[in-house]
Structure 1
Amino acid sequence: MKKIRVLAILAFVTTTLTAQWKPAGDKIKTKWASQIDVNNVLPEYPRPIMERDAWQNLNGLWEYSIEKKGAAAPKSFDGKILVPFPVESSLSGVMKEVGADQEVWYKRNFSVPSNWNNKAVLLHFGAVDWETEVWLNGVKIGSHTGGFTPFSFDISPFLKSGKQELTVKVWDPTSDGPQPRGKQVKNPDGIWYTPVTGIWQTVWLEPVSKKHIEDVRTTPDIDQGTISFEVAAAGTTYGDVVEITILDGSNTVSTTKAAVGEPIVIAVPDAKLWSPESPFLYDTKIALLDNGKAQDEVQGYFAMRKISKKRDDKGIMRMQLNNKDYFQFGPLDQGWWPDGLYTAPTDEALKYDIVKTKEYGYNMIRKHVKVEPARWYTHCDRLGILVWQDMPNGDNSHDWQNRDYHKGNEFERSAKSEAIYRKEWKEIMDYLYSYPSIVIWVPFNESWGQFKTVEITDWTNEYDPSRLVNSASGGNFFQTGDILDLHHYPAPNMYLYDANRVNVIGEYGGIGLPLEGHLWKTGNNWGYVKFNNSKEVTDEYVDYAEKLKELVSAGFSGAIYTQTTDVEGEINGLMTYDREVDKLDIKRTNQINTEVINALNE
């Protein structure tokens, strides 16, 4: 009888929580929206490249209130919001505008598991857009600026017995501020989309020892057959040791020990190389030892792969993967969702676009002016897809020209704006450094906020010499960086050529097909060209791809087709915005894409 009563109470609580939330608005939604469990939102471990066994998810229903900027903390709240979906999204259950004159307040209670006693407790935020302040039990414990990178606080000193009260305040000026924001604007239209304010990635707790691992940085060297580890740790003393075990499945490749703070280089004999065709990952176990006793242990992975450039036998500068000429071909992927905006409804949804990209026959994705949750990059690593990672643009545009690679006008940012860019670009590179799928950094796109191009490019090259830098995708080239990146719509075209750099077409295509029942907007939908059915769109795509094959032999080493999905008013995706319809014939598209990729080595 007691068990039945407990089950009845749990069922009542679950039903009550569900009744407090439903998707807001009448916009189209993905199939995954109906699969959301408010008691178990995005339950997967958020950081699989450095994973611990114990953690607690704080996603779910929080209290929220939208207040005038600078106002005191609210005494009562407006209602419930489903974290981690942004305030403006349908899946938040709120779907309200915020803007630069207001702030979002969040509040929830949580309990710390009793078996975490004598542990330090870390409070992690996957990403919050843009300026965040955090209170625990009425004490302000920290703040953070930046909308795309994770941050955390050791909340141990501020815990009390029983329930803990967590309060978060967020301000986001969107297009009224100079901060990196990607495609977000306060008046969305055309290629510019709905603002994203507040918490948009998983919030979670993690218990660690006073001595614990903070970060693991891996750098492969396939020419030497080695992998380098830099392990950062907190609370350590002289004599503490890092132990690294490398695994190939269940087989131990090697075990190595070194003093904390020492760089570690480990031989990987007969290394299995990672590529989109064979995405092999070595597993790792990394332990922090004090007098031989483990204080902390994390599990992760790395890959042996190399991205580089080299002239071919015709004198053309080519991109190489693992020391072989390799044509990189993929879609422009903006990572937007009709129901969650920046936030995919489920982990299956997050993975889906990558799976479809592979089905279409591509080997690469350009992640366009957005940074994804850590799990997205792990999916790329595991599935085998190369990634060109854009810096999300911010501040204002300037004069854009894409017909002369000797010059280009730059935007003159304020000292504050420059500092924000530099801080956030470094944090993004630090956050993503160890994901092998990422092969190219893209600091600027089409002059959007572009400044001091040569200086930023040189810094990016020096900070991460293991990857190529595409300094200015689409124009204002300045003869800097590793790549000359042209944009041309709708058909691909080589209107410039640089004998000293890799040449790519970083955007082309944009073939539009509006499909009733799958549109974000009822009118004013657009593509660079429009057609009436899947056959017409596929025919046009194949025609462009045939032109692209000819340009591969002429000198192109990579290409980006616009785009993976429709996004809001743009209807030029390979899929509809709700991911319900593949607009192109997958078999025909895969076949021609494979021919384009193989054209380089014919």
Structure 2
Amino acid sequence: MVLLQGVLLSALAATGLASPSLDVSGRNSARQAAGYSPKQPPLKTPWTDKVGTDPWPEHPRPQLQRSQWQNLNGVWGYQNASSLDAVQSPPVGQKLGQEVLVPSCLESGLSGIQGVYTLYSWFSNSFKVPDAWKDQQVLLNFDAVDYEATVFINGKKAGFNRGGYYRFTLDVTQYVKVGQQNEVLVFVHDPTDDGDYVIPIGKQTLRPSHIFYTPCSGIWQSVWLEAAPKAHITKLDLDANMDGQVNMTVHTSAVNATQNVVVTVHDNGKVLKTHSGPSNRPFQFNVESPELWSPDSPRLYNVTVKMGSDKVQSYTGFRTIAKGTVDGVVRPILNGEFVFMFGTLDQGYWPDGLYTPPTKEAMVYDLKVLKELGFNMVRKHIKVETELFYQACDELGLLVIQDMPSLRPSQRKTNPDDCSSSPILPDDQQQAEFARQLDVLINQFKSFPSIVTWVIYNEGWGQITDYHPEFELTDRVKQLDPTRLVDSTTGWYDHGAGDFSDNHHYANPQCGTPFYSASSSPYDDTRIGFQGEFGGIGSNVSIEHLWNNQAAIDTINQTYEIDETIDAWNYRSHFLLAELQDQVKRFACSGGVWTQTTDVEGEVNGLMTYDRRIKRVDEDQWKKDIQGLYDAALARSNTTMSAS
């Protein structure tokens, strides 16, 4: 067994490049881009050539914004490292051999590296702390580094983080020099599925093949600085329900102290409510008659929180998601009414950026396509996105089913004694780390109103079956976030945990029905009947719209079904959606997930091609078929629902 070294620290490193000049507003006023150029990816999107060297300029944390911040995205120094031992000898004051675009996946074309087996890496940059910040705490934020990151500031070890999908913040005040250039070095170790490592990786693999894709290593989400008072707000837990009750916890840097915080809910400059409460403890207050958030009307309200000299901006939406019985069938209930949840399996992969969308515009484009077709939900499949993704879902009115990134999926090991094989599953320490990172997922994202369901296990990947850990993990999630539903096991090994009886079946649905296949479990009428995956039908396209990798092209026929023309693809789609509609009418189907939003590498079963240049959908037909699902669900209850 190989264990990740707990001594590893991840650090953004200083580089010998000319240092970027930063202004207090948070934008880079100049960039040194010499030496960096993107590699030619196997496929480009309409946004590939728009990325430039100033990527992702938006404030990356929409629910806790301060006015004083600086974006550190752009061209950094990079060099490959040979082993874990490299972290013991940080290249302080040295110019690294290559240049890389941050944020990006090292394996992507946009990174300028397009590496393979990038298990160990150094990153470097430098920044200037403005004189105006001299009496403030300087906070260095990494929104996602895959997988272990060790950070050095001016040659001193400043922090460590493990987990490839989540943000972490380092208070680097003691390491920086105000008004001067400061070097930041980051050592990254990303084993993916190398050797005996069993860590949350989703669909990533060092050996891409059909439904498992090119990995993403390194700093793949934004890096940024902010200034805050010594006693400052670190996190907001914010839930607003359909009755107008706001439930809050304002976490602070002084975790063992309590200070007064003032919360103001406002709308277009009009103050709706001001309330005072204690920091680091839950408190509640009410807003009178708020407009509710839903897919039909994604109403959001601004929130300002003050504590001493610290002031942050946030937002919320008033809504309640629950489980209830409607006409004898257990249903998901949004704001007191049955909501039929219908969306796509959304992998969040891009041919030019892999895990990192080329731009925010590109990322939101996918969501707008879904919304315009009539989908009211998206299942974020075993990947976690930038917080700007969830803000976009909040604003557009898309329900989110959020997966926990799975442990090593569908891989087996061979016993050398008898050549038998068994699935690669976590040991006790690895399972404990999976549970810890599940906690981190819930705690970071539980204030986004669009998220309505957490998924723990997908199709048994990394799921221990000698006992049933999903029961304990479900209780754990419910304790951390009692406001949402939990789909404990979507597909395969369902032992009765959680709120959903979730079936996966390709291509035809089996949603809440009295029939099922060997890979799923019988419908359990004490829980919500749900079609967690179906569809998956594909149609091949010309080479200019394919991931131009021969190994991927060779596996295209492994797609669940290949339709020879777009007309045939739309005919089959209509047939399958009509079958799902019939199950809604006859049985106990409360929602479904169509596979998938776009093609990914060797899969050609998306509503759009991987480059987002071709839509396969007959839009009029799809809009009618999706509305037909909502209409059929409405006929089974006394609630009001639409596809808008």
TM-score normalised by L of structure 2: 0.86
CA distance in 1, matches of 2:342, 2:163: 31
Gaps of 5+ in 1: 1-8, 290-294, 400-408
Matching residue's letter, 1:115: A
Cα distance, 1:104 vs. partner?
0.5
Change (3 A) 1:238 1:132: closer
CA contact (8 A) 1:66 1:98 kept: no
Give the corresponding residue for 2:278.
Answer: 259
Map Cα deviations across residues 162-199 of structure 1 (whole Å, 9 max, x no partner).
11000000001101221100000110001000011110
Map Cα deviations across residues 325-374 of structure 1 (whole Å, 9 max, x no partner).
11000000010000100001111111111111101210000000000000
CA contact (8 A) 1:230 1:261 kept: yes
Map Cα deviations across residues 194-242 of structure 1 (whole Å, 9 max, x no partner).
011110000000001112111111122324x311111011248967320
Give the corresponding residue for 1:158.
Answer: 175
CA contact (8 A) 2:258 2:280 kept: no
3-state secondary structure, aligned to 1:68:
coil
Within the candidate set 620, 628, 641, 1:587 is matched to 620
Tell me whether 1:81 sits opposite 2:113 in the alignment. Answer: no
Give the corresponding residue for 1:515.
Answer: 541
Matching residue's letter, 2:185: T
Within the candidate set 566, 569, 582, 2:602 is matched to 569
CA contact (8 A) 1:395 1:417 kept: no
CA contact (8 A) 1:311 1:318 kept: yes
Tell me whether 1:331 sits opposite 2:358 in the alignment. Answer: no
3-state secondary structure, aligned to 1:308:
strand
Map Cα deviations across residues 34-66 of structure 1 (whole Å, 9 max, x no partner).
11131x211000011111112101111111000
Change (3 A) 1:417 1:242: same
Within the candidate set 330, 338, 344, 2:357 is matched to 344
CA distance in 2, matches of 1:96, 1:323: 50
CA contact (8 A) 1:549 1:596 kept: yes
Cα distance, 1:511 vs. partner?
1.4
CA distance in 2, matches of 1:213, 1:76: 36
Give the corresponding residue for 1:536.
Answer: 568
Gaps of 5+ in 2: 1-20, 23-27, 413-421, 517-521, 636-644
Q: How does 1:16-35 map to 2 (within 5 A)?
A: 17-18=32-33, 20-35=35-50
CA contact (8 A) 1:329 1:560 kept: yes
Give the corresponding residue for 1:241.
Answer: 260
Cα distance, 1:498 vs. partner?
1.1
3-state secondary structure, aligned to 1:169:
strand
Q: How does 1:212-223 map to 2 (within 5 A)?
A: 212-223=232-243
Cα distance, 1:92 vs. partner?
0.2
3-state secondary structure, aligned to 1:231:
strand
Give the corresponding residue for 1:193.
Answer: 213
3-state secondary structure, aligned to 1:174:
coil
Cα distance, 1:19 vs. partner?
5.0
CA contact (8 A) 2:319 2:334 kept: yes
Change (3 A) 1:182 1:136: same
CA contact (8 A) 1:410 1:447 kept: no
CA distance in 2, matches of 1:505, 1:81: 42
Tell me whether 1:455 sits opposite 2:472 in the alignment. Answer: yes
Give the corresponding residue for 2:185.
Answer: 167
CA distance in 2, matches of 1:497, 1:113: 60
Change (3 A) 1:141 1:592: same
Give the corresponding residue for 1:48.
Answer: 62
Matching residue's letter, 1:474: G
CA contact (8 A) 1:361 1:590 kept: yes
Give the corresponding residue for 1:130.
Answer: 147
Q: How does 1:11-410 map to 2 (within 5 A)?
A: 17-18=32-33, 20-38=35-53, 40-69=54-83, 70-71=85-86, 72-74=89-91, 77-99=96-118, 102-161=119-178, 162-176=180-194, 177-223=197-243, 225-235=244-254, 240-289=259-308, 295-313=309-327, 315-395=328-408, 397=410
Cα distance, 1:130 vs. partner?
0.4
Tell me whether 1:550 sits opposite 2:577 in the alignment. Answer: no
CA contact (8 A) 1:284 1:301 kept: yes
Within the candidate set 426, 429, 433, 1:420 is matched to 433
Give the corresponding residue for 1:506.
Answer: 532
Map Cα deviations across residues 143-173 of structure 1 (whole Å, 9 max, x no partner).
0000001001011100125110000000011
Change (3 A) 1:534 1:485: same
Matching residue's letter, 1:577: Y
Give the root-mean-square deviation of aligned CA atoms: 2.1
Cα distance, 1:14 vs. partner?
10
Map Cα deviations across residues 530-577 of structure 1 (whole Å, 9 max, x no partner).
123322211111111111111112111010000000001101000111
Q: How does 1:438-477 map to 2 (within 5 A)?
A: 438-451=451-464, 452-477=469-494
CA distance in 1, matches of 2:475, 2:269: 42
CA distance in 2, matches of 1:453, 1:116: 47
CA contact (8 A) 1:411 1:450 kept: no
Cα distance, 1:420 vs. partner?
1.2
Change (3 A) 1:76 1:44: closer
3-state secondary structure, aligned to 1:443:
strand
3-state secondary structure, aligned to 1:471:
strand
CA contact (8 A) 1:278 1:384 kept: yes
Q: Which moved more, 1:429-438 or 1:524-533?
A: 524-533
Map Cα deviations across residues 307-326 of structure 1 (whole Å, 9 max, x no partner).
1111122x111111111011
3-state secondary structure, aligned to 1:458:
helix
Matching residue's letter, 1:219: D
Change (3 A) 1:584 1:238: closer
CA contact (8 A) 2:263 2:275 kept: yes
Matching residue's letter, 2:218: G
Cα distance, 1:115 vs. partner?
1.6
CA distance in 1, matches of 2:486, 2:256: 38
CA distance in 2, matches of 1:264, 1:26: 50
CA contact (8 A) 1:387 1:437 kept: yes
How many residue pairs are counted as aligned between the two chains?
573
Matching residue's letter, 1:442: V
Change (3 A) 1:306 1:298: same
Matching residue's letter, 1:163: Q
CA contact (8 A) 2:349 2:356 kept: yes
CA contact (8 A) 2:343 2:376 kept: yes
Give the corresponding residue for 2:642.
Answer: none
3-state secondary structure, aligned to 1:382:
helix
3-state secondary structure, aligned to 1:270:
coil
CA contact (8 A) 1:98 1:104 kept: no
Matching residue's letter, 1:204: W
CA distance in 2, matches of 1:50, 1:264: 18
CA contact (8 A) 1:410 1:450 kept: no
CA distance in 2, matches of 1:390, 1:239: 34
CA contact (8 A) 1:362 1:593 kept: yes
Cα distance, 1:110 vs. partner?
1.1
Map Cα deviations across residues 125-146 of structure 1 (whole Å, 9 max, x no partner).
0000001100000000110000
CA contact (8 A) 1:398 1:450 kept: no
CA contact (8 A) 1:246 1:254 kept: yes
